[in-house]
Amino acid sequence: MAEEISEKLPFISYGRQSIDQDDVDAVSRVLFSDWLTTGPKVTEFEEKIAAFVGARFGVAVNSGTAALHAAMYALGIGPGDEVIVPAMTFAATANAVVYQGGRPVFVDVEAETLLISSADVERLISARTKAIVAVDYAGQPCDYEALRAIADLHGLALVADGCHSLGASENGNPVGTLADMTVFSFHPVKHITTGEGGMIVSDNEEFAAKMQRFRNHGISTDHFKRQKEGTWHYEMVELGFNYRISDILCALGISQLQKLPGWLARRRAIAERYDLEFQDHTAVTPLSVRSGVEHAYHLYVVQLAKGVSREKVFRDMRQAGIGVNVHYVPVHMHPFYRNNFGTAPGLCPVAEEAYERVLSLPMHQGLSDDDVQRVTRALWEALK
Ligand SMILES: *Cc1c(COP(=O)(O)O)cnc(C)c1O
């Protein structure tokens, strides 16, 4: 009987895009225009995201992963270099270091926030360390003040993986201004989407120029030279990739960006409802939010008390049509890293323990108050 009922209720996914007719129209206009790719919508999207987050430059690419790769390239990461990366993230954060031949050094996270532990970062710095990549897990900015101090003291670059935190801020300073480079993703589960897409924002002109070449095979577009040597002339000055994003996708991104402030407000309102629901319970503890932080709530993550079977809660909620999820398998636990970098359980104990207890509840702007109530009811039911 219970199953019959749950089948009639729509499935509530943990994250989901919102697309309206304005988005469709914006994409259609580009389809009938002269530029499907490498045209004006790419530049417009870059400028609008950069302006939104308060950065000077934006470089759009075709995924958040490509954006991370471009950032590692701009820093000149190569064989022999180490980059400090938190264990509690999506694998792409570390993979980007490996693409460049570097070694990701996994750092543990703080138990209450699952954000990179600054104290542990300091312990892991070696003569080979070139950069720190901080991940704004769930949508809350890391302690960039502390990270900046460490980076400056040791002459390291600081990169923010802001794939969860577009629209977040720390003491009034937006994500996008808190590191040397900040990376965003426009995958459908993220705040705004281009289907697939990503961007790096930075105030550093040299980094931006490097990444513009990197996404386009390493080809320089030196207009002065072209004029002198003929308009056909171009030079491939370094090895790059085709990481370009199309105007079709950027038109969608521009249209989505207009709605982002309202969506952020809705995500925060949903988080407040969840917070209220869980405030007097010991079985379910939401992650702590640092003071001075404006959270972007890509995810709403709770930690289940020890002794609660996450497995059962997960299964029961999925059965009830609630798309809970688990973010993330600590990256150093993946076979690829164990086999190629010798990582093993015990390397980042806080992340490993959290992994056993975390649960991501549905969080996106399309959820109604009734949906949120369905989620919490299903959770209490599963905990019985
Ligand atoms: C989504 C995500 C990425 C990768 O973005 P894609 O656009 O899917 O390539 C990288 N890091 C984190 C933390 C993410 O959440």
pLDDT class of 222 with cuts at 50, 70, 90:
low
pTM of the predicted structure, to 2 decimals: 0.96
Atom of ligand 1 nearest to the CA of 189: 1
Q: At what angle do helices 369-383 and 260-278 cross, to 10 degrees?
A: 30
The length of the chain is 384
Query: Could you tell me the pLDDT band of residue 223, with boundaries at 50, 70 and 90?
Result: low
Ligand 1 binding pocket includes 89 (Cβ within 6 Å): yes
Q: Is 306 a catalytic residue?
A: no
Task: Cite the residue boundaries of each domain of the chain with CATH code 3.40.640.10.
Answer: 21-257
Is CATH 3.40.640.10 the classification given to domain 2-15+260-383? no
- Is residue 65 within 6 Å of ligand 1 at its C-beta? yes
Pair 303, 285: CB distance under 8 Å: yes
Ligand 1 pocket test, candidate residues 90, 241, 329, most atoms within 8 A of CB: 90
Which of 14, 17, 62, 65 most suits a substitution to test ligand 1, by most atoms within 8 Å of the C-beta? 65
Sign of CA dihedral 295, 298, 304, 306: negative
**Residue pair 166/193 in contact by the 8 Å Cβ criterion:** no
pLDDT digits (tens, 9 = 90+) for 238-286: 999 999 999 999 999 999 999 999 999 999 999 999 999 999 899 999 9
Bridge partners for 129 per DSSP: 82
Question: How is 341-371 classified by DSSP, letter by letter?
Answer: H---TTSSHHHHHHHHHEEEEP--TT--HHH
| pLDDT (average), residues 307-313 | 97
- How confident is residue 221, by pLDDT bands cut at 50, 70 and 90? confident
- Of 8, 48, 130, 190, the catalytic one is 190
- Residue 233: per-residue pLDDT: 83
Closest ligand 1 atom to the C-alpha of 137?
13
CATH for 21-257 is: 3.40.640.10
Contact 66, 74 (CB under 8 A): no
Cα(271) to ligand 1 centroid in Å equals 22
Residue 225 scores a pLDDT above 70: no
Answer yes or no: is the C-beta of 255 below 6 A from any ligand 1 atom: no
114 with 89: CB under 8 angstroms? Answer: no
Q: What is the pLDDT of residues 55-88, one digit of tens each?
A: 999 999 999 999 999 999 999 999 999 999 999 9
Residue-wise pLDDT for 128-180, tens only, equals 999 999 999 999 999 999 999 999 999 999 999 999 999 999 999 999 999 99
Per-residue confidence (pLDDT) for residue 228, from 0 to 100: 75
Token look-up 């980059």 returns 83
Nearest protein CA to atom 15 of ligand 1, as residue: 163
Q: Which residues neighbour 225 within 8 Å (Cβ) at sequence distance 6 or greater?
A: 233, 235
Taking 90 as the threshold, does the pLDDT of residue 3 lie above it? no
Domain boundaries for CATH 3.90.1150.10 within the chain: 2-15+260-383
Q: Is residue 304 lining ligand 1, measured as CB closer than 6 Å?
A: no
* Span from the CA of 67 to the centroid of ligand 1 (angstroms): 9
The predicted pLDDT at position 231 comes to: 78
**Structural tokens at position 219:** 């080809």
The per-residue pLDDT of the chain, averaged, comes to: 96
Model pLDDT for residues 327-372, shown as the tens digit of each residue: 999 999 999 999 999 999 999 999 999 999 999 999 999 999 999 9
